[in-house]
Amino acid sequence: MDRDAEMLQKMGNAVVDMQVKYRSSALSERMAMKPAMEELLNDYADYQLRLIKEGVITTEDDLKEMDDIKKEIDQAAKTEDILKAIAKTIAFIATKV
């Protein structure tokens, strides 16, 4: 188990222990504990997200580039539509020549 995996395991255990303690506490104690509970859940999520994001290789620039490619293809589709319309017109004229 590498260091990150070990850390994640420990944080998960801490969340479980904190949840048990929280739920067995009286109302006023829970009111005092709530910010810490929220913070622990948030830190645990951030840690998990940081690790999974190491595997994310698409960037904002990639998304923009994909958008540009789409526009280029849309334009080609429009141009081909126009060419096909011209072809139909020519074919029609050819029958009349």
Partner 1 sequence: MKGKFQFFYFFIAVFVLVLNTGCNREKAEAIKMAAEKFRIEASAAIEEINNLFLLSLSMPYEEGEEINKIALDLEREGQIDAEKLSFIMGEAGIGRATEEKVNQEFEKIKQGYYQFEVIFRSFPKGSLLAVEAVKKAEKHAINLTVQMINFADFLKKYPLQFTGRRSLIIEKITEAKLIQDQNLRREKLSLIAKSIVQLRYEEQKAKKEAILQCLKAAEAGKLVAELIRDYDSLSIEELLGSIRSTLSFIAEISSNRDAVSLLERYKSVETAIKEDPYWKAILSEKIIK
Closest CA relative to residue 11, chosen from 46, 35, 63: 46
CA distances to 35, 43, 44, 46 from 18, in Å: 12, 13, 12, 18
82: contact with partner 1 by CB under 8 A:
no
Instruction: Scan residues 44-73 and list those touching partner 1 (CB under 8 A).
Output: 44-45, 48-49, 51-58, 62-63, 65-67, 69-70, 72-73
According to the binding rule CB under 8 A, does residue 24 interact with partner 1? Answer: yes
Contact status, residue 18 vs residue 36, Cβ threshold 8 Å: yes
Q: How many residues bind partner 1 (CB under 8 A)?
A: 59
Examine residue 12 and tell whether it contacts partner 1 (CB under 8 A).
yes
Can you tell me the distance from the alpha carbon of 31 to that of 25, in angstroms, rounded to the nearest whole number? 10
- Whole-number Å distance between alpha carbons of 43 and 59: 24
Residues that bind partner 1 (CB under 8 A): 2, 4-5, 8-9, 12-13, 15-16, 19-20, 23-24, 26-28, 30-31, 34, 37-38, 41-42, 44-45, 48-49, 51-58, 62-63, 65-67, 69-70, 72-81, 83-84, 86-87, 90-91, 94
